Amino acid sequence: MIVLLAGLGGSAALGWYAWRRLEAPVPPRIATEELDPELAEAIETVRQKIHADPYSASAWGELGKLLRGSQLLPEAAACFAQAEKLDPQNPQWPYLQGEAVRMFDVEAALAPLERAAARTDTADTIAPSLRLAEVLITQGRNDEAETHLRRGLAAEPDNPAVHYNLGVLALERGDLDASLTHLQRGEHSPFTQRKACIQLAAVYRRMGKTEQADQYSRKADTLPLDSNWLDPFLADVTAVGRPAQFQQIHQLQMRGEHRAAAEQLTALIREQPDYRAYVALGESLEKLGDFDRAEQALRAAIALAPEKFRAYHQLSRLLWTRASKDARTDSRRAQAEFEDAAACARKAIDRQPDHAMSHVVLGLALRQLGKQEEALQSLRTAVELGPNLTDAHYYLGEILADAGKVAEARSSLRRAMELSPQDPRPQTALAKLKKD
């Protein structure tokens, strides 16, 4: 009897185990042949984890995050959906699912985000409520959005993103005063300052306050992109593979975070030197004032791909900047650098003849080398190609003034002033022209 029962139990266990293996969820098929090798390898590693334990929510979540970091969104969403089935009380999974799905099917993102919001205590985080509200706003479901925002506001009364969205809703319903109040709460936060200024301009315009509207429009145009608000659920979603990392680095550079960008680029180059990484590193190092290392990076880029344009242009600009500094203390060295800058600028122009800034750099280098006529021609070309470039007009004005062409010089300098009213150089140069 005991043997019989043991046999029955064993059979049942075996049957259950067989059924479980038979029914085990399978990761979505991802064509890895065309993917970055590092990403492909990482995907395969996590797939193996899932095969080993297909009922592990964390393994599914890990795969989802990996795919999300590389913008493979439908596949990431499928993984998060599976993780939720296995770990239904954890708000992380429906949140990440909704966050990924909203990028290609906004309406379908609502249900998982609603589940995430329902399972999250706003005392822990308001991220699901905030994300859900943002999606509801894009769908025109403003009342529901407001409910979730008010929940968020109760937990975090000073959250600028919440205030920003409440400001948008108030503007939608025509309550301009309320809109102003909320938007002003987001005016100085790095997460919302730019978009707050954009909306404030529109609100003031609707109020008939044109001057304030213009002021905020101008301010919005000068501000960098807003940083993404700190989303705890996305904190460990990282980009794997060089292309995804490049995109992240590009975002850092767009936000002016060059130190972080340079660190990541250095690490990438250490793994595998490549042209793009060297050029981007050169750019960030130059912005940080580390000219010597920037030059090294750009020369390395040129050595790798001498037929390409960008490294030559950046190097020419870098050399001119450094030479201008060196000219105060070591004129011989500066002259050599100006020669080098001119040579690099010419190579850049050979590769991209309509690049305005390359002509600016060439003109400036030629000016320092005493070749005034050639310099003038280069700056004229620069102005024609890039009429929006303050530097092109300013330096053209200076060279024209050097050549005694005062009327033309004034015209160029005035143009530079109109383009960049805050830039003191054209004003100073104009004043000097008047005195002379």
Partner 1 sequence: MKPLCPCGLFLSLVILTGLMGGCQSRQSDSSAADAPAVEEAWFLDWTEEKGIHFQHDAGPVPGDYFMPQMIGSGAALFDFNGDDRLDIYLLQNGGPRGARNRLYQQLPDGRFQDVSEGSGLDIAGHNMGVAVGDVNNDGRPDVVVTQYEGIKLFLNQGNGRFLDATEKAGLHNPGWATAAAFLDFDRDGWLDLIVVNYVEYDPSWPCTSASGTPDYCAPRTFKGRVARLFHHLGAGREPRFEDVTLKSGLGRLAGPGLGVLCADFNGDGWQDLFIANDGEANRLWINQQNGTFKEEAIARGVAYNAMGQAEAGMGVAMGDVDGDGLFDLYVTHLTEENNRLWRQGPRGLFQDRTAPGGLVRSRWHGTGFGTVLADFNLDGALDLAVVNGRVSRAPRGANDALGPHWSRYAERNQLFANDGAGYFRDISASNPALCGTAAIARGLAFGDFDNDGKLDLLVTTIAGPARLYHNVASVQGHWLRVRAIDPAHGGRDALGAEVRVRAGERVWVRWINPEASFLCSNDPRAHFGLGAVEHVDDITVLWPDGKQEKFAGGMVNRAVIVRKGEGESKR
Specify the residue, 153 or 249, whose C-beta has the smaller distance to partner 1: 249
Residue type, 218: R
Specify the residue, 171 or 376, whose C-beta has the smaller distance to partner 1: 171
Report if residue 217 touches partner 1, rule: CB under 8 A: yes
Report if residue 36 touches partner 1, rule: CB under 8 A: yes
By CB under 8 A, the residues from 96 to 155 that bind partner 1 are 103-104, 106-107, 134, 137-141
Report if residue 22 touches partner 1, rule: CB under 8 A: yes
* Neighbour tally for 436: CB within 10 Å: 8
Minimum CB separation of residue 310 from partner 1 in Å reads: 6
Minimum CB separation of residue 70 from partner 1 in Å reads: 4
Judge contact between 312 and 282, C-beta under 8 A.
no
Identify the three-state secondary structure at position 53.
coil
List the structure tokens of 76.
Answer: 């990431």
Report if residue 45 touches partner 1, rule: CB under 8 A: no
Report if residue 220 touches partner 1, rule: CB under 8 A: yes
By CB under 8 A, the residues from 374 to 393 that bind partner 1 are 384-388
Question: How far apart are alpha carbons 395 and 426 in whole angstroms?
Answer: 9
Here's the x/- map for partner 1, 311-350, by CB under 8 A: it reads as ----------------------------------------
Specify the residue, 18 or 118, whose C-beta has the smaller distance to partner 1: 18
Specify the residue, 243 or 273, whose C-beta has the smaller distance to partner 1: 243
Beta-carbon contacts of 127 under 8 Å, excluding residues fewer than 6 positions away, are 95, 120, 231, 232, 233
Report if residue 189 touches partner 1, rule: CB under 8 A: no
Report if residue 16 touches partner 1, rule: CB under 8 A: yes
By CB under 8 A, the residues from 276 to 315 that bind partner 1 are 276, 305, 307-310
Residue type, 324: S
List the structure tokens of 258.
Answer: 């060059």
Of 44, 53, 124, 221, which one interacts with partner 1 (CB under 8 A)? 221
Backbone φ, ψ for residue 233 (5° rounding):
-75, -25
Report if residue 369 touches partner 1, rule: CB under 8 A: no
Specify the residue, 210 or 331, whose C-beta has the smaller distance to partner 1: 210
Of 53, 124, 236, 354, which one interacts with partner 1 (CB under 8 A)? 354
Report if residue 185 touches partner 1, rule: CB under 8 A: no
Question: How far apart are alpha carbons 400 and 407 in whole angstroms?
Answer: 9
* Neighbour tally for 407: CB within 10 Å: 9
Report if residue 19 touches partner 1, rule: CB under 8 A: yes
DSSP code of residue 335: H
- How many CA within 13 A on the CB side of residue 321? 14
By CB under 8 A, the residues from 225 to 264 that bind partner 1 are 226, 239, 241-244, 247, 250
Judge contact between 149 and 166, C-beta under 8 A.
yes
Minimum CB separation of residue 117 from partner 1 in Å reads: 19
Nearest alpha-carbon partner for 132 in 158, 84, 86, 165: 165
Question: How far apart are alpha carbons 387 and 252 in whole angstroms?
Answer: 28
